[in-house]
A and B are shown apart, each in its own frame.
Chain A
Amino acid sequence: MQEFTWRVGGPQGGGIETAATLFARAVAKGGWWVATKREYHSNIMGRHSYLDVRLSRKPVGAFREKVDFLVALDGETLARHLGEVRPGGALLYDPRALDLTVHKLPMLDHRAAEALAERFGKLDPSLKEVLQAYVEAGVQPLPYPFEEVADRIGGELGVPSLQARRTLNTIAVAASLRLLDFPLEPLLEALAHQFRGKVLELNQEVAKAVYREEVPRLPSQLSLNGYEPGRVYLTGAQAAALGKLAGGLRFQTYYPISPATDESVYLEAHTAFQGADVAVVQTEDEIAAVTMAIGAALTGARAATATSGPGFSLMAEGMGFAGMLEAPLVVTLYQRGGPSTGLPTRTEQGDLQFALRGGHGEYPRLVLASGDIEDAFLDAQKALAWAWRYQTVVVHLLDKFLASMAQSLPKEALKPLSLNGERRFPGREGRPEPFPRYAMAPDGISPFAPLGTPGSFYWMTSDEHDEVGHITEDPVVREAQMEKRMQKLQTARKEIPQEDQYTLFRDGEVLVLGFGTVKGTLLEALESLPGVGYLHLRLLWPFPEIAPLLEGKRLVTVEHNYSGQLADLVQQETLQRVHHRVVKYNGRPITLDEAVEALRAVLTKEAPERLVLRKGV
């Protein structure tokens, strides 16, 4: 077996995240490369949530449409994921759920219930019928009474039922691994990573007990893949936070918002580490988050903020202010489904054009997007370095998919970069004198004197200003200052190495263009699509000079939004026509299978100009 996808579904807050982490860590301990994706509702407890763990013999960053193994911790999972297990796959479920009917599932959406009613030709199909449909589709049913097992093992260990049932996630993972004939030892290690003390003891005992039970032998077996030390397993939000620390972050502000908050909470929890003295301030709103970070940046502190969707809208004013003051500022934007509150916990790349253009007036800003977890770590460092080099706003784009996705990768992938290039006035002895902070510079970059620089003072203003920062409406000074600021974009385009601007992973007559989290999916899709090339954009603004690479090619963009914002940008900047726009906007990430199918249609010339991908639960 080369690859395998395990899915666990259940109520939010019911331990399924822990289950997925345990499964992923256990198989990763067994040498497999893993990637985990998380789908959840904007809800604290009770609504349906599920995670996929895909494992592969080689590094993996994409997900399949159908899974090989589904663990349904509740009846709703059975109902929602019908049709999502591939023929020959397995379904582990609690037979007690079969007593329910679709309408007895309190959290199942109306539309999903109706779809099931239609499929079964009756108003309220039972879950027995749903299970039968799995079986007819070639899925092997594996009834497993999770709670009974918990109580029984608990009884054997002398643990009360309530406590024993807290180990349901461990039971589900242990049962899955046992059925797949995977050794117990890596799971015990994964548990040791997750739990401490008595809780650890109990969970390890439970796992051992599950492994003592007789189980049927499945056709799919999950052998060890050769453990190699030095790998790590982390999420995109954690990678971005670590990248910020590696980039010298000293001040982070935020207002709670999904999915951006994870990054700031990680930072709050890790400030005691050597070299990581970061002041993290939770502000009253995103207006304060962005402006407080700017205030900190003006003193010379490397400062950043992180937000999503509506929060970014509120930051537009502050970003323009930073642009005008030439303040170094990083805004990490975790995109989510919009407009307005939209789909708060689902993914989208709908903020590209807003990140490029949002705000009144014109100022230089850099926009870069991360394609995977390694990129998130490196890009966070680059964003900070560029903000300081060019003394302007850098927007670092990620999205919900990447933020909550976890991947295993070699530790060396998380490489600290030594980037510098700050142009700073060191100060001087003696009586403070006005400093020409906004002095003309051919490359647009005047020396920056942070607040508190000795021997000097000057003014900063959101109004147009002269060299020392006094307000002016003089047309000549206005032109000169505007040109100086905007010159930074030309300088950045010249200085930023090509490999940081874009990567042509493969050339082809059909050339796919993408940015951000479509990267992993497209790279794997290419393996089965000879003749298709992929150009991945890392820097979105200033826009790289890619026009010569596009000439004469059949161009396709693949992105998570409605209109094809990347396609518009490519057309505007290269004057090359994008022939096909593959878009998806239902909040679920594009699967490998969807991408392959869409690009095959392009190859066989059957594809329309616009292809909408609609898969996902």
Chain B
Amino acid sequence: MLELKPADYKAEKNPDWCPGCGDFGILSALQMALFELKKDPSRTVVFSGIGCSAKTPHYLNVYGVHTLHGRVLPIAQGAKLAHPHLTVVAVGGDGDGLGIGAGHFVAAGRRNVDMLYILYDNEVYGLTKGQAGPTLGFGEKTKSLPKPNPQGRINPLLLAFAAGYTWIGRGYAYDVKGLKELIKEGILHRGLAFLHVLQPCPTYNDLHTKEWFAPRLYRLQEEGYDPYVPEGLSPEELDGKMALFQAKAAEWGERIPVGVFWRAEAPTFEERLQAYLPRYPGVYPALGQREALDLEGLLREFAL
């Protein structure tokens, strides 16, 4: 077993985020979580989309794949399915995941591939200088916008729930310790975990700042909220769970909850693949050709 220190997970490269950016907190939390879970850097991959948040992999000493705007989820799922023994974390911003990548966000929920997706939500497109993101509310005007936002907001938690994510959580970028625990839980969850991170953008978002968030945030778990949804609940019990989830996921304004909102059990896509690939995941695509192809056998149905 490798003996690695927390600093071993940190790359030499210095982040080029703005001073005070919420991304720093998420990076530290992710680095600490990988350390505490004793993840082998050569068996761990952090994928990202495009944007400020998407630079995260470059600052971590594990395999890093910085992909295309909005496409991080299909790429990460492809890697995880082809090599199911990798630890896969995908990260990206709100524009990346819920704007250009919204279709992939929804489709990923239908599959339940065993990985964690962290969405950095600062409500703006930072790298292109502050245009409205898909989580900025209707009528809201950050200092970077010439006019109030004419489009409405997506609720990432409700969307993830509707799509079928089996673990749904929310953290706060400046609460590194709390965030680290959520990341660990998301990685350990068997299935697709979605972690929504509230991440102030000190440069472009003057509405939802550190000062704005601080008095509003509270921990769900400290108020006795139980996110666990065991298998075999009666329809009435499940309705109750869903109603509670929905109320908490929609709560925004004076009080904003963080913590684990939903934790359910469902077959992972890897398990579903076994229905037609009986040797999976023992024999998995990344292993390559292990035995000669029975071409004769395949040609039998075409024989004249």
Q: Which residues of A approach B to under 8 Å, CB–CB?
A: 25, 28-29, 231-234, 238, 242, 245-246, 248, 250-251, 253, 268, 270-279, 281, 283-285, 287-289, 291-303, 317-318, 321, 325, 408, 411, 414, 416, 427, 431-432, 434, 450-463, 469-471
Query: Scoring B residues 63 to 78 as 1 if CB is less than 8 Å from chain A, else 0, what string do you get?
Result: 1111110010111111
Complexed CA–CA distance, A456 and B43 (Å)? 9
Within 8 A of A (CB), among B48-105: 50, 55, 57-58, 61-68, 71, 73-83, 85-86, 103-104
Chain B residues contacting A232 (CB-CB under 8 Å) are 299, 302-304
Tell whether, in the assembled complex, residue A470 and residue B278 are in contact, meaning their CB atoms are under 8 Å apart: no
Task: Name the contact of B45 in the complex, choosing from A231, A234, A294, A451 (C-beta under 8 A).
Answer: A451
Instruction: Find the A residue at minimum CB distance from B297.
Output: A273
How many Å from the CB of B76 to the closest CB on chain A? 6
Residues of B participating in the A interface, judged by any CB pair closer than 8 Å: 2, 4, 13, 40-45, 47, 50, 55, 57-58, 61-68, 71, 73-83, 85-86, 103-104, 106-107, 273, 276-280, 283-295, 297-299, 302-304
Across-interface contacts of A296 in B (CB, < 8 A): 78-79, 81-82, 285-286
- B298 and A245 form a contact (CB under 8 A): yes
> In the complex where A276-B293, A291-B71, A452-B85 touch, is A457 in contact with B61 (Cβ < 8 A)?
yes
Complex contact B286–A299 (CB within 8 A): yes
Shortest beta-carbon distance from A59 to chain B in Å:
13
Q: Which residues of B contact A250 (CB under 8 A)?
A: 82, 285-289
Which of A234, A275, A288, A453 sits near B294, CB closer than 8 Å?
A275
Which listed residue, B107, B298, B303, touches A283 by the CB 8 Å rule?
B107
Say whether A272 contacts B78, CB under 8 Å.
Answer: no
Residue pairs across A and B with Cβ atoms less than 8 A apart, 19 shown, are A232-B304, A245-B298, A251-B285, A253-B78, A270-B298, A273-B294, A275-B292, A276-B298, A289-B74, A291-B68, A295-B82, A296-B82, A301-B288, A303-B285, A414-B295, A432-B2, A451-B83, A459-B58, A461-B66
Instruction: Say which residue of B4, B277, B294 sits within 8 Å of A279 (CB atoms).
Output: B277
Q: Given the complex, which residues of A lie within 8 Å of B278, measured CB to CB?
A: 272
Instruction: Contact check, B103 vs A285: say whether CB atoms are below 8 A apart.
Output: yes
Q: How far is the CA of A427 from the CA of B40 in the complex (A)?
A: 14
Give A469 to B57 CA distance when docked, in angstroms: 11
Q: CA of A6 to CA of B62 in the docked complex: distance in angstroms?
A: 63
Q: Say which residue of A231, A454, A455, A470 sits within 8 Å of B304 (CB atoms).
A: A231
Docked pose: A276 CA to B81 CA in angstroms: 16
Interface of B is mostly: mixed
B277 in contact with A271 (CB, 8 Å): yes
B271 to chain A, nearest CB (A): 13
Contact B86 A251 (CB under 8 A): no
- Does B285 lie within 8 Å of A233, measured CB to CB? no
A277-B280, A288-B107, A456-B42 are contacts. A234–B297 as well, Cβ < 8 Å?
no
CB of B4 to closest CB in A, whole Å: 8
Q: A273-B297, A293-B78, A295-B75 are in contact. Are A300 and B83 (CB under 8 A)?
A: yes
User: Which residue of the partner chain A has the closest CB to B4?
Assistant: A431
Residue of A nearest to B49 (CB): A462
Given A268-B276, A453-B42, the answer on whether A274 and B291 have CB atoms closer than 8 Å is yes
Question: Which residues from B are CB-within-8-Å of A284?
Answer: 74, 103-104, 106-107
**Shortest CB distance A330–B (Å):** 14
- A295 lies within 8 A of B295 (CB): no
The CA of A245 and the CA of B297, in the complex, are separated in Å by 12
Contact A272–B292 (Cβ < 8 Å): no
Chain B residues with Cβ below 8 Å from A238 are 302
**CB within 8 Å for A463 and B299 given contacts A245-B293, A272-B278:** no
Knowing A272-B278, A273-B297, A292-B74, the reply to whether A317 touches B291 (Cβ < 8 A) is no
Q: Which one, A231, A246, A271, A452, contacts B86 given CB within 8 A?
A: A452
Complexed CA–CA distance, A272 and B293 (Å): 11
Inside 8 A of B292's CB, which chain A residues have their CB?
274-275
B68's partner among A246, A434, A462 (CB-CB below 8 A) is A462
Q: How far is the CA of A287 from the CA of B71 in the complex (A)?
A: 8
With the chains together, A281 CA to B290 CA distance in Å?
Answer: 21
Alpha-carbon separation in the docked complex, A529 to B74 (Å): 52
Return the contact of A291 from the options B67, B81, B106 (Cβ within 8 A).
B67
Extra inter-chain contacts (13) besides given A288-B107, A298-B65, CB under 8 Å: A250-B285, A250-B287, A268-B276, A274-B292, A285-B103, A287-B71, A288-B73, A292-B78, A301-B288, A318-B71, A321-B67, A454-B42, A459-B57
**B79 CB to closest chain A CB, in angstroms?**
4
Residues of B within 8 A of A470 (CB): 13, 58
Contacts of A461 in B (CB 8 A): 58, 64-66
Given A450-B286, A453-B42: A432 in contact with B61 (beta carbons within 8 A): yes
**A462 contacts which of B50, B86, B290 (Cβ < 8 Å)?**
B50
List residues of chain A with CB within 8 A of the CB of B73: 288
Q: How far, in whole Å, are A291 and B85 apart by their CA atoms in the complex?
A: 20
Highest count of chain B CB atoms <10 Å: which of A232, A274, A298? A298
Are B66 and A411 in contact, CB atoms less than 8 angstroms apart?
A: no
Is there contact, CB below 8 Å, between A459 and B86? no
In the A-B complex, the 4 residue pairs with the smallest Cβ-Cβ separation, listed nearest first, are A295-B78, A301-B285, A284-B107, A296-B82
Hey, which chain B residues are within 8 Å of A456, CB to CB? 42
- Measured CB to CB, the closest approach of chain A to B299, in angstroms, equals 6
Q: Closest Cβ of chain B: how far from A275's Cβ, in Å?
A: 4
Q: Which residue of B lies closest to A422 (CB)?
A: B288
CA gap between A289 and B107 in the complex, in Å: 12
Given A317-B68, A459-B66, A29 contacting B81 (CB threshold 8 A):
no
Q: How far is the CB of B209 from chain A (nearest CB, A)?
A: 29
Most buried by A among B47, B65, B107, B287: B65
Q: Which residue of B lies closest to A275 (CB)?
A: B293
CB <8 Å contact, A292 and B77? yes
Are B86 and A299 closer than 8 Å at their CB atoms?
yes
B47 contact set on A, CB distance < 8 A: 295
Closest to B8 in A: A431
Closest B residue to A415 by CB, please name it: B295
Q: In the complex, what residue of chain B is closest to A234 when comparing beta carbons?
A: B302
Instruction: Give Cα A352 to B93, complex, Å.
Output: 37
Instruction: Point out the residues of chain A lying under 8 angstroms from B273, CB to CB.
Output: 279
Contacts of B44 in A (CB 8 A): 457
The answer to whether B304 and A25 touch across the interface, beta carbons within 8 angstroms, is: yes
State whether A271 touches B298 (Cβ < 8 A): no
Are the CB atoms of A301 and B83 closer together than 8 Å? yes
The one of A272, A273, A299 in contact with B285, judged by C-beta atoms closer than 8 angstroms, is A299
Q: Are A303 and B71 in contact (CB under 8 A)?
A: no
Shortest Cβ gap from A471 to chain B (Å): 7
Which B residues are CB-close (under 8 A) to A454?
Answer: 42
- CB within 8 Å for A452 and B68 given contacts A275-B293, A292-B75, A458-B63: no
Residues of B contacting A434 with CB < 8 Å?
A: 61
Say which residue of B40, B57, B58, B67 sits within 8 Å of A432 (CB atoms).
Answer: B40
The interface centre, meaning the residue of B4, B76, B289 with most chain A CB atoms within 10 A of its CB, is B289
CB distance from A178 to the nearest CB of B (A): 21
User: Complex formed: what's the CA distance from A456 to B40 in Å?
Assistant: 10
A34 nearest CB across to chain B (Å): 9
Report whether B74 and A287 are in contact in the complex, using a CB–CB cutoff of 8 Å. Answer: yes
> Which interface residue of A291, A297, A427 has the most chain B CB atoms within 10 A?
A291
Alpha-carbon separation in the docked complex, A299 to B76 (Å): 11
Residue of A at shortest CB range from B104?
A288
Distance (Å) between the CB of B175 and the closest chain A CB?
A: 28
Do residues B64 and A460 form an inter-chain contact, with CB atoms below 8 A? yes
Contact B79 A29 (CB under 8 A): no
Once bound together, how far apart are the Cα atoms of A277 and B292, in whole Å? 11
A279-B285 in contact (CB<8A): yes
Q: How far is the CB of B278 from chain A (nearest CB, A)?
A: 7
Within the assembled complex, what's the spacing in Å between the Cα atoms of A274 and B294? 5
Q: How far is the CB of B292 from chain A (nearest CB, A)?
A: 5
Asked whether B63 lies within 8 Å of A457 as measured between CB atoms, the reply is yes
In the bound assembly, the distance between CA atoms of A251 and B68 in angstroms comes to: 21
Residues of B within 8 A of A279 (CB): 81-82, 273, 277, 280, 284-285
Inter-chain contacts of A25 with B (CB < 8 A): 304
Q: Which residues of B contact A432 (CB under 8 A)?
A: 2, 40-42, 61
Contacts of B294 in A (CB 8 A): 273-276
